[in-house]
Amino acid sequence: MSSQLDPSFLPPGVRAETFTYRNGRKTTVYKAPYQTEGPVVRKAPNGRRVLVFVYASFVFEWSEGSGSVLIGMGTLRRYSRNWSQPIHAPWSEQALTQFGQQWALAHMAKFRTRRPQDT
């Protein structure tokens, strides 16, 4: 009996990966893409335009003309602002998307642990 689902039943973007342990046991895990929203343009209370982008529950807020991005956690509707990081790119949706994805992946990699079978 197979524990793997029929790929036609998987939601879009979800993929199956099967791992084989040293003892021959196999495990299938299902990987889904990170949540992504935006980027969207909003008006700040001071009248400036602000780009907001969400990737993997990290929210990136970049005011037009600013050299830094505010980073927090949440969704487009509600989020915190916990960190600030410099950005060296022209203010654009593409630049914020690239910055956000790279920052989130690098940040999450800090917490990745090595499994005993990886050593």
Residue 87 host element (H or E): none
Q: What is the pLDDT of residue 2?
A: 47
Question: Given this model, what pLDDT does residue 101 score?
Answer: 96
pLDDT in tens, 20-36: 889 999 988 888 888 88
What per-residue confidence (pLDDT) applies to 6?
62
Low-confidence ranges of the chain (pLDDT < 70): 1-8, 114-119
Q: pTM score > 0.75 for this model? A: no
Q: Tokens at residue 4, please?
A: 């793997």
Q: Helix, strand or coil for residue 116?
A: helix
